[in-house]
Structure 1
Amino acid sequence: MIGTVLALGGGGFSMSDDGSSAIDDHLLDLTGQDVPKVCFVPTASGDDNGYARRFEEAFSGRATTSVLSLFCHEPWGYTDPQMLLEQDVVYVGGGSTANLLDVWRRHGLPDLLTRAAAQGTVLAGISAGMNCWFEASSTDSFGPLAPLDDGLGLLPGSACPHYLGEADRRAAYLGWVASGALPGGYAVDEYAAVRFVDGVAVEAVAERPGRPAYRVERDGDVATETPLEVRSLPGA
């Protein structure tokens, strides 16, 4: 992959009471623009209107915002997904990873997002919006946690968001990597994120203290965790 991805294990405006987020501030800084163009893609939540409005409120006054509603929800209606090529940031919301992938493929988003990243658009997302960029992931799209092996593959390996924040996430992910059900990858706690440039992890950041991120790899019949150095963002 050519381009930048910020993968949030949790946090951002989605998990903030007032919409403020040091990770979101960091995301805007990555664009190098004073007033970046940021498009929110809430496909994984079925284009939940409240979720999209929270995004608009959180980024109001510091970005030019838009919402890509593939479910044609008002007041946004349907917009040609080609508009993703005009953005400084594409920010993907949480929800069902499996549903997101199916809908995106129907509307041609995988190719558009690859092209957008290659020309400088920063791709970002939380939870399902983290999972989607990888080859595989840990998901609750089908109810119980399960491995999913048909991600977009813009980033190599697998992803596990909410690593310590949700019961059973850690044990399940380590078990799947150990068994080979999922390839090795990255596990990111809530309020933390990992930035990838051209497919390589270059930095982990957190907006709250003590929020880790790990590189997880298979070693024989066990999975090993290697902690990433996590930089605390201003205000963390």
Structure 2
Amino acid sequence: MAVAHPKRLALLGGGFSTDDDGLLDDWVLSRARVPRPAVCFVPTASGDAAAYVDRFRTVFAARPDCDPSVLHLFRRELDDDALRSFLLAQDVVYVGGGNTANLLAVWRAHGVDRLLREAYGCGTLLCGISAGANCWAEGSHTDSFGPLTYLSDGLGLLPGSVCPHWDGEPGRRPSYRAAVATGQLPAGWAVEDGSGALFTDGAPTDAVTRVRGAGVYRVAPDGAGGVTEDALPCRFLGDAPALPG
């Protein structure tokens, strides 16, 4: 009989690339299915930027609670079978920021979109920041094409849409609100810098913040040409360690 695994993904408003305290990364790893997870960083959205990869390796190699690795696609070394085996062996897939549209195109060219969907169904925790949060939803708010706009594309593992940097970049909030109000994007989740949200089988099951006052919001049409913003209850990570997975 096939074993049913909870399908989990996390939207991050920070992590090793932006924060020095490690609180959001601690939280993510605590939600993995094993105490010492295999964690794969996927820097596709940045074009496999060397400095980004180096930062991940420096931070995560120093951690005693995980086994880190990196998936390069711009200088890919694994054949199809090895790539599948590698990704399905990961407990956490951590996707970096950059260009969401480019990320999706490269993943599809290499079949990574299908493999991540398979890994998700097998219990791998998928997570990421910025483009690495956008990619899991049906659509997202992005600067992939220069000015802020909507992207009606994504893996669709998380119903609805995602907007990163809700409070961290000028124009994000009004632009995303307008896209949701007009139906250019479906209702979704706005993530402020410093916060994170865990979704299990498509529903929010935990939300945290390393910055007092930062949070995650459900943004949906109000039926009158505008939108509603409803905050998820967030635990402040500075008060206590994250709950075990």
- The TM-score normalised by the length of structure 2 is 0.90
1:96-130 superposed Cα distances (whole Å, 9 cap, x missing partner):
00000000011111211111112121101000000
| Mapping 1:19-168, distance limit 5 Å | 20-60=21-61, 61-62=63-64, 63-72=66-75, 78-79=77-78, 80-82=82-84, 83-168=86-171
**3-state DSSP class of the match of 2:190?**
strand
Between 212-221 and 90-99, report the one with greater CA deviation: 212-221
Cα deviation for residue 2 of structure 1 reads 5.4
The reply to whether residue 208 of structure 1 matches residue 211 of structure 2 is yes
* More divergent stretch after superposition (214-223 vs 128-137): 214-223
* 3-state secondary structure, aligned to 1:57: helix
Q: Which secondary structure state, in structure 1, belongs to the residue aligned with residue 204 of structure 2?
A: strand
Residues 184 and 216 in structure 1, CA contact (< 8 A), matched pair in contact too: yes
Structure 1 residue matching 2:117: 3-state secondary structure: helix
Q: Residues of 2 paired with 1:150 and 1:12: CA distance?
A: 25
**How far apart in 2 are the matches of 1:40 and 1:117?**
15
Cα distance between partner residues in 1 of 2:102 and 2:77: 18
- CA–CA separation in structure 2 for the residues paired with 1:81 and 1:162: 31
Q: CA deviation at 1:32?
A: 4.4
Work out whether residues 130 and 165 of structure 2, in 8 Å CA contact, stay in contact via their aligned partners in 1. yes
Question: Is this contact kept in 1: 2:94–2:126, CA < 8 A?
Answer: yes
* 1:4 aligned partner: 8
Alignment partner, residue 228 of structure 2: 224
Q: Please give the residue correspondences for 1:165-180 in structure 2 after superposition, counting only pairs within 5 Å.
A: 165-180=168-183
May I ask how many residue pairs the two structures share in their alignment?
229
**Residue 31 of structure 1: SS of its match in structure 2?**
coil
Please list every run of at least 4 consecutive aligned residues from structure 1 whose deviation after the TM superposition is greater than 2 angstroms.
32-35, 77-81
RMSD: 1.5
